[in-house]
Structure 1
Amino acid sequence: MSTYRFDRLLAPRTVAFVGAGSREGSVGRSVLANLRRSAFPGAILPVHPTEAEIEGLPCARALSDLATPPDLVVIAVPPPHVPDLVDEAGRIGAGAALVLSAGLGSGPGDPGPQARILARRHGLRLLGPSSAGLSVPSRRLDASLFAHAPAAGDLALVSQSGSVAAAIVEWASRRGVGFSAVMALGRALDIDASDCLDHFAADLRTRAILLCLDRVEDARRFMSAARAAARAKPVVVLRAGRHRTQDVDRGADRTGPTVTHTGALARPDAVYAAAFRRAGLLAVQDLEEMFAAVETLGRQRPFPGKRLAILANGLGTGLLVTDLLADHAGTLAEIAAQGPRPAGNPVSLGLDAGGPAFAEALEPLLADEANDAVLAIHVPTIRSDAQVVAAAVAGVVGRARQGQTRKKPVFAVSLGEADAVRDTYAGAGIPLFATDSEAIEGFLHLVRYREAQDDLMRTPDSLPRDFSPDTEAARQIVADALRQGASWLDPIAVGALLGAYGIPAVPLTLAPDIDSAAAAAWPLIAAGEAVALKVVSPDIVHKSDIGGVHLDLVSEADVREAARSILTRARRERPDARVTGFGVQPMVRRGRRRELIAGLAEDPVFGPVVVFGRGGTAVEVIDDRALALPPLDLTLARDLIGRTRVARRLDAYRDVPAADLSALALTLVKIAQLAADLPQVRELDINPLLADETGVLALDARVRIGRAPQGRYGERDRRGGGHPGFAIRPYPAEWVRSLNVKDRTVLVRPVRPEDEDLFRTFFEGLDPESLRLRFFGPVRAFSHVFLARLTQLDYARAIAFVAVEVDPDGKERMLGAVRLHADANHDSGEYAIGVGRDARGTGLAFALMRLMIDWARSEGIRRVEGSVLAENRAMLAVCRRLGFTQMRDPDDPGVLKVKLDLGTPPPS
């Protein structure tokens, strides 16, 4: 339901309160006291079956006795009574309910599901149960259990844990940091983190979002909301229980059994970290780091650049900070000489430096373009007063910002800080930290946010045109194995599957017995090659654990002896295992090749994940790996490689040439594509994957298969197509079309991120009048950020179709495009369209609009809306033919609002 009725929850005019009885110290009484203490301007309406009044407020006997429906109902009653109250609140037309009651959402006989069903029947939004409340300071609404009412500000805090939310609010109250809203989600039967991200991403009063969670229920909704929010403003996330393997709420093992190396490496904490990274969120590890983020974001906006200048009254203190910056991969600015002061960073003023010395040194640093931010560190001494220094720093910064178009960020550390010092820095909008480590963390939060934004906007490399997997052959391989009841592909099928996706592998011959193994090995041995012999068993995944791999066999006798040894040990150590034969392969000398691992694992929350790292039998002990959510492009694949320690070994060193990173990145993209095409592939383990300057080679691989996951993300996403388990909707290849328009056939396909140059060329070829009709004003430049927003789509909530002509060499020329972006509720979508001059009058605009409408219907979107200049008669004619209604924009008479109700099909 996303942001539906959030206005009734966060900006209520009336609040009804059920459960605030006469008992002192009860949850309901405590929250009611906070609500009254916050001077809520609306009506507070207590409801109690026997009390005549509570805290001097007259009581109604039931919700239905209230004269007018309340916007918000606060419920603090025993769990069995909650469903009836939710039903009653819905029936009288209440907008939202805050459920403080604990004990719902788990256990036998749980009334939580019933409450959720009743709420959704009436369109009532639920916050909770087990919520610690909510607070909206600008509305003077504090219906919470927090010890201090949050101050007004522009940070939104959303937390599944009430205690974590209370800790952050209490810390912020002592630091003068304020919030646009604080929401404690509790068990989140209805309103969840995804809904809150959607709301606060669009909230003009919110500059940054703080998110505290321990679990994600609907990964696809979460990833879509998180990616959209992170593009709009900083989102800092703290996850509790990172190393927990059991879901406390359900008592279920979230990791499940793992049988492959990739499965063992894809632990829940690593998968969550990969998801947060892909969404562009700033992940912090603990409350201390979250506090540093709050202090930073509460005072300072994100800024470009990462070079830090350090100013301190002591060289030792400054050097400690430079060490911390280097430890966290930060960048130290180069500082030129300033008068008698020599060049160098940090700038040391001496232990007795006071306010004038700090002011004199800080002014040139603020004006210096060789640094992007300044950190001022003060250690109080008997000759250097902290308050005087704080006033001097605040004064210099205030004067400098008056003349700066880009206000350079300044951070401060005052060891042994006092309230007056804190107030001085807060008044100047300067983040203040108690320690140098907190300051470096705070600085780097903003640096990493900017880098994450750059990563989100980075244009990926185009995939090689010759990468065209044989998906039909791959599907047949998996289908045949499933029909036979197999849960693992046999080695021949594994080789064929890798071959279908162009992943080079060592050829393998399957031999059912010792004699056939010797016969298969003989041609290789006769040619002077050594042979590797491996056990083949659907029940033995790690062959080396039972001595199931013998290498460097150079005679038939060696092969027969190795085969007998494998059978003997397998029968002794795994008597239950079915041994179906032996795999015979030519020996591959590793030489200068690096031994890697690559594959797929399946996470119960986020679905398939791509795993890459250092390979070999000790892969789990070494634990050098990185994870990424598919789908991948070449840019994301290179980033995945770069996040491992083994990446450094892929570069050239001594007489060893660098490995072919392009081939390795393409292999990871192929693995991700395999996951998208074949939901029945549940785990894939290539270990080792050998890499050198000539490319990659899969030396050994195993593939676990099973029925495709069904219904992970609800009805809407099942209609959306693609892999049903992907947390990120993959490229919707099923929407590629060939359309006949007048005398030509054009290819129409969903837009890809690498289409940026295609769009730039198209826009640059449009005349100024066409651009004005399309963008409602003159457009002089098409920046990377502008084009990235048009081409990098979240297919879960937006689509864009581009029409192209393809020449004999495969080069595309863009003729036009249409796009539709759904709102957060997935209820309506706003469209935009542009067609080139040479495609006008061909019917292309009409065809693109029809295709966009078909997509909207398939997604369950109820209406399509748009804005058209009144003088754009051609577009208005297309809209009339398609059945759009038209009306003047009350705010701009030169614009017409067009709308199409998708309850009926468009005219043919």
Structure 2
Amino acid sequence: MTQRHLDRLLRPSAVAVFGASDKPERVGTTVWRNLKAGGFAGPLAPVNPRLNTLDGERCYPRVSALPFTPDLAVLCTPPATVAGLVAELGAAGTRAAIVITAGLTPAQKQSALDAARPHGLRLLGPNCIGLLSPHLGLNASFTQANARPGSLALVSQSGALLTALLDWANGQGIGFSHLVSLGEHLDVDFGDLLDHLALDPHTRAILLYIESISSPRKFMSAARAAARVKPVIVVKAGRAAAGQRAAASHTGALAGEDIVIDAAIRRAGMLRVDTLKELFIAAQTLARFRDPTSPALTVMTNGGGAGVLVADAASSLGVPLAEPGPVLMQRLKAVLPANWSRGNPIDIIGDAPPQRYVDTLQALFDAPEAGAILFAQAPTAIASSTAIAQACAPLIAAHPGRVLSCWLGGETAAPARQAFEQAGIAGYDTPEEAVRAFSLMQTYRRNQVALRETPAASTIAAPDRAAARRLVDAALADGREWLNEVEAKALLSAYGIAVVPGAQVPATPDAAAQAASGMRGALVLKILSPDLLHKSDVGGVRLGLVGPEAVRQAAQQMLDSLAHSHPQARLQGFSVQALVQRPLAQELIVGAHVDPIFGPVLLFGHGGVAVEVLADRAVALPPLNRALARDLIDRTRVRRLLAGFRGRPPADLDAIADVLIAVARMLADLPELAELDINPLWADAQGALALDGRIRLSPAKPAGVAHFAIRPYPDEWESRLAWQGQPLLLRPIRPEDEAAHQAFLDAVTPDDLRLRFFQAPHRLSHDELARLTQIDYEREMAFIAVDAAQQTLGVARLVRDPDNTEAEFAVLVRSDLQGRGLGRLLMQRLLDYAAARGTQRIVGDVLRENHGMLGLVKALGFEVRADAHDPAHVVRVTRTVRPTLSPLD
């Protein structure tokens, strides 16, 4: 179950409360009275076999006695009664229920779910406060107050937090479209509600309070879809390190749970805030402030001290202050006294009358470089704060989304603060709080840019998957979890990662010397043992050895030392390799491990022996492309060293990015890959080179595509064929295809574009193209036909509903190639894909005049009928799909 029948939950036409009571201490009493007092226009019914009437309404004893079928039932009855009530309600036609009841046993929860499933009845809860939809006057909860109508939706796992936020919002005059308490989210969860709220016309932004995520792929798919159309802000509880597992590798030790959740939120284009206070700040900012395109802030104040506080806060948060241009400086000089600050912060002096505020604001509004404006005012005896607010509010209201305000002080500033609030101007208690709000919005904007960024194509070669498979199978057949260094480097090399070659020899000094005799220059000797993962910590690495005899002596010393310090260590032999000299290279770490919630994750950061002490790292969810890999690199401090300094040339960032992409491919291709460290990975202007590698395998197969939180590119759906005498590649679309897709659309006539998009064509923006090429393979697919010159010739698109019941298709072929069978080829590929994914039905809307498309779908067995909403111009085409075995599964 996903979006199905959520409209009955959030927009019911009739509601019944089971367990409604007249006893003051009962939850059912509060829920019933809240519902009755909320102003809901539809039929309401209390259900309690003990009562004949309740608050002047007839009370009913059971489901079958109700005079109507409720869309929504609210259950406040004992745990043992819940499953039976759900079964009765489902049979009667009810399709949504809120289970307020707490204390259900695991068996009782499963019974309730089993009773709901045959009817598609959705369950919210159990152990929840309920929900409010203020636009409907619906308060199906036991909150202490009702909510104002507004445009923010709040979904919370904590009922206490929901009530606290509601109380605060009422005090601030902020309203909501919906407030939903998930409770134990037995059925309805974050993914379901994100899908629904993304399309809800009353909701402009979505706030989430998360304690746990039970379905990561579903959550990420819904979150990425919602964040493309509306702001989504998250508070995730549990930043503490308690509960993080001990790990054998550096990557496992560094990549703790919380940093992974950060990466997931960022990848989805959402914004994470740290505290409940910041969620309040973000809620107000979203309600009253639109994120400016400029990342800079201009401060306007009547007090130098307030300006200093803002400048300090901006510096600590990395918020740049705007630089006034010459035109703006001249205008400010004309309206401000001679002793003004002549820079940003703009101190208009404490004796400023209302007109000086208005003139300064107008100058700033007319200057594009001013960006967002922070209006900070301290009360004085010379000019009335209230008069200033009344003079400025109309001007600010005429430029919505440009101003954040801070009225310093308490009782004196209260009327001015209230005047700004009534004008819908974002207000904050302190200058620091206002700067923090602006910083949060900038972080959100950066996440949104990253969500839509078009990547460059990776130049890394296709991996040798067969060689990698042999290495993994051989180790597991030997009963080993850890690959030795030579095996690990061979696996990295199979995926195109440059490594330092070396010879593996038996654990004897003579064998090491014999291997060294065939090598020139300085050498490196390393011990190979599954029990000595960090070899340098136990004297298992010797550098700069010259000649066989030096290698022999070092090997003997190493064996003698280990016999004393680690007598139980199993020795597999020695690795002898050339000492690579790249003095300008930066030591990095690239790693991978499996998070218990989000599955495989990648790590990047500052490498070397002090990697855990420095703890300079960032993590990302696979799959990766060049843009995502570069973003991962940019989130570390070592990125500044990679840019070059003191004559050291910049490192090749694309080469580092390709290493990260290769590791992401390994995680997809090799389900047995449990942990990986490349430390150090050297990076300089020449590229990236892996000096050492540690890889742990697990027969439990914790990696692989099945465990990715984001479904990767499905290359199993690529196929090559001959069409019209030329080779053709049919494959899923990729984000890197944006430029080629624009060229394809440019080659389609305006009339063909109108037939496809049902409107007059226009050149698509980057955001629109990104939406077409950066698809979520979990819920949609677009196949493109590509010729030998890498030109896109046609595209067929399929968007599935979250239930995978129905999918809508669209097909477009380049105008000069129509009528030659390419559309049929693409359409058949969509049908095959839908069957493999278990989609039940394919539908589409076709203009009546589009005779070519109508002929194609009729030939493919679609049913054609007039569209109920526009029968004169549009027909609805439908075909049932027979499921087949999916290559994705």
TM range (shorter): over 0.9
Residue 206 of structure 1 pairs with residue 195 of structure 2: no
Partner of 1:660: 652
Q: CA deviation at 1:293?
A: 0.5
Equivalences for residues 255-270 of structure 1 within 5 A = 255-270=244-259
Q: For each residue in 1:781-839, what CA deviation from the matched residue of structure 2 results, as whole angstroms up to 9, or x when unmatched?
A: 23222221111111111111111110xxxx31221111111123322111111111332
Partner of 1:895: 874
On the 8 A contact 2:309/2:432 being kept in 1, the answer is: no
Partner of 1:143: 140
When residues 188 and 576 of structure 1 are mapped into structure 2, their CA distance, relative to the original with a 3 A threshold, is farther
> What secondary structure, in the 3-state scheme, does the structure 2 residue paired with 1:359 have?
helix
Residue 73 of structure 1 pairs with residue 51 of structure 2: no
> What secondary structure, in the 3-state scheme, does the structure 1 residue paired with 2:705 have?
coil
The one-letter code matched in structure 2 to 1:764 is: D
Equivalences for residues 309-348 of structure 1 within 5 A = 309-335=298-324, 336-337=328-329, 338-340=332-334, 341=336, 343-348=342-347
Q: For each residue in 1:497-538, what CA deviation from the matched residue of structure 2 results, as whole angstroms up to 9, or x when unmatched?
A: 11111111112222222234433453267x3x3333222222
On the 8 A contact 1:520/1:584 being kept in 2, the answer is: no
Q: Which of these residues, 489, 493, 498, is aligned with residue 492 of structure 2?
A: 498
> What secondary structure, in the 3-state scheme, does the structure 2 residue paired with 1:232 have?
coil
On the 8 A contact 1:372/1:408 being kept in 2, the answer is: no
On the 8 A contact 1:237/1:281 being kept in 2, the answer is: yes
On the 8 A contact 2:251/2:593 being kept in 1, the answer is: yes
Partner of 1:719: none
2:238, 2:422 → 1: CA distance?
A: 36
1:611, 1:568 → 2: CA distance?
A: 36
Q: For each residue in 1:12-70, what CA deviation from the matched residue of structure 2 results, as whole angstroms up to 9, or x when unmatched?
A: 22222223334322222222222222132233322223333444433322223323322
On the 8 A contact 1:596/1:691 being kept in 2, the answer is: yes
Q: Which of these residues, 535, 538, 546, is aligned with residue 546 of structure 1?
A: 538
When residues 415 and 580 of structure 1 are mapped into structure 2, their CA distance, relative to the original with a 3 A threshold, is same
When residues 689 and 323 of structure 1 are mapped into structure 2, their CA distance, relative to the original with a 3 A threshold, is same
Equivalences for residues 539-618 of structure 1 within 5 A = 539-554=531-546, 556=548, 558-589=550-581, 591-618=583-610
2:417, 2:74 → 1: CA distance?
A: 37
2:859, 2:127 → 1: CA distance?
A: 53
When residues 111 and 541 of structure 1 are mapped into structure 2, their CA distance, relative to the original with a 3 A threshold, is farther
Q: Which of these residues, 509, 526, 532, is aligned with residue 524 of structure 2?
A: 532
When residues 840 and 387 of structure 1 are mapped into structure 2, their CA distance, relative to the original with a 3 A threshold, is same
Moved more, 560-569 or 171-180: 560-569
When residues 652 and 743 of structure 1 are mapped into structure 2, their CA distance, relative to the original with a 3 A threshold, is closer
Q: CA deviation at 1:414?
A: 0.9
Residue 237 of structure 1 pairs with residue 226 of structure 2: no
On the 8 A contact 2:514/2:548 being kept in 1, the answer is: no
1:559, 1:100 → 2: CA distance?
A: 73
On the 8 A contact 1:511/1:520 being kept in 2, the answer is: no
Q: CA deviation at 1:895?
A: 1.9
Residue 113 of structure 1 pairs with residue 110 of structure 2: yes
2:637, 2:496 → 1: CA distance?
A: 27
Residue 700 of structure 1 pairs with residue 689 of structure 2: no
Partner of 1:282: 271
When residues 704 and 143 of structure 1 are mapped into structure 2, their CA distance, relative to the original with a 3 A threshold, is same
Q: CA deviation at 1:442?
A: 2.0
Query: Percent identity between the aligned chains?
Result: 43
Q: CA deviation at 1:426?
A: 2.4
Equivalences for residues 382-781 of structure 1 within 5 A = 382-398=381-397, 400-401=398-399, 407-417=400-410, 420-464=415-459, 467-523=461-517, 527=520, 529-554=521-546, 556=548, 558-589=550-581, 591-707=583-699, 709=701, 723-781=705-763
The one-letter code matched in structure 1 to 2:262 is: A
* Corresponding residue pairs, total: 871
On the 8 A contact 1:521/1:559 being kept in 2, the answer is: no
On the 8 A contact 1:491/1:508 being kept in 2, the answer is: no
Residue 800 of structure 1 pairs with residue 795 of structure 2: no
> What secondary structure, in the 3-state scheme, does the structure 1 residue paired with 2:791 have?
strand
2:565, 2:33 → 1: CA distance?
A: 68
Q: For each residue in 1:58-83, what CA deviation from the matched residue of structure 2 results, as whole angstroms up to 9, or x when unmatched?
A: 33222233233221111223333322
2:552, 2:109 → 1: CA distance?
A: 64
Q: For each residue in 1:537-573, what CA deviation from the matched residue of structure 2 results, as whole angstroms up to 9, or x when unmatched?
A: 2233222333332333345555445434444554555
CA RMSD of aligned residues (A): 2.1
When residues 795 and 520 of structure 1 are mapped into structure 2, their CA distance, relative to the original with a 3 A threshold, is farther
On the 8 A contact 1:35/1:142 being kept in 2, the answer is: yes
Q: For each residue in 1:83-131, what CA deviation from the matched residue of structure 2 results, as whole angstroms up to 9, or x when unmatched?
A: 22322322322111111122337xxx55222222222232111111111
On the 8 A contact 1:524/1:530 being kept in 2, the answer is: no
1:383, 1:572 → 2: CA distance?
A: 83
When residues 388 and 812 of structure 1 are mapped into structure 2, their CA distance, relative to the original with a 3 A threshold, is same
Q: CA deviation at 1:493?
A: 1.8
On the 8 A contact 2:210/2:234 being kept in 1, the answer is: yes
Q: CA deviation at 1:361?
A: 1.4
Q: CA deviation at 1:702?
A: 0.7
On the 8 A contact 1:214/1:242 being kept in 2, the answer is: no
When residues 104 and 543 of structure 1 are mapped into structure 2, their CA distance, relative to the original with a 3 A threshold, is farther
Q: CA deviation at 1:455?
A: 1.8
On the 8 A contact 2:837/2:883 being kept in 1, the answer is: no
The one-letter code matched in structure 1 to 2:404 is: F
The one-letter code matched in structure 1 to 2:849 is: E
Residue 878 of structure 1 pairs with residue 856 of structure 2: yes
When residues 884 and 693 of structure 1 are mapped into structure 2, their CA distance, relative to the original with a 3 A threshold, is same
1:13, 1:868 → 2: CA distance?
A: 33
Which ranges of structure 1 fall in alignment gaps of 5 or more residues?
Answer: 247-254, 402-406, 713-721
When residues 181 and 839 of structure 1 are mapped into structure 2, their CA distance, relative to the original with a 3 A threshold, is same
Partner of 1:91: 91
When residues 334 and 901 of structure 1 are mapped into structure 2, their CA distance, relative to the original with a 3 A threshold, is same
Which ranges of structure 2 fall in alignment gaps of 5 or more residues?
Answer: 885-889
1:556, 1:373 → 2: CA distance?
A: 69
2:522, 2:529 → 1: CA distance?
A: 23
1:467, 1:668 → 2: CA distance?
A: 13
> What secondary structure, in the 3-state scheme, does the structure 2 residue paired with 1:728 have?
coil
Partner of 1:404: none
When residues 224 and 194 of structure 1 are mapped into structure 2, their CA distance, relative to the original with a 3 A threshold, is same
1:556, 1:754 → 2: CA distance?
A: 51
Q: For each residue in 1:596-648, what CA deviation from the matched residue of structure 2 results, as whole angstroms up to 9, or x when unmatched?
A: 10021110111111100001122111100011111111111111111100111
2:488, 2:772 → 1: CA distance?
A: 39
Q: Which of these residues, 260, 265, 287, is aligned with residue 271 of structure 1?
A: 260
2:711, 2:147 → 1: CA distance?
A: 38
When residues 616 and 517 of structure 1 are mapped into structure 2, their CA distance, relative to the original with a 3 A threshold, is farther
On the 8 A contact 2:289/2:401 being kept in 1, the answer is: no
When residues 688 and 214 of structure 1 are mapped into structure 2, their CA distance, relative to the original with a 3 A threshold, is same
Partner of 1:124: 121
Equivalences for residues 289-304 of structure 1 within 5 A = 289-304=278-293
Partner of 1:2: 2
Q: CA deviation at 1:742?
A: 4.0
The one-letter code matched in structure 2 to 1:143 is: A
> What secondary structure, in the 3-state scheme, does the structure 2 residue paired with 1:111 have?
helix
Q: Which of these residues, 184, 189, 213, is aligned with residue 187 of structure 1?
A: 184
Q: CA deviation at 1:870?
A: 1.1
Q: CA deviation at 1:751?
A: 0.6
Q: CA deviation at 1:780?
A: 3.5
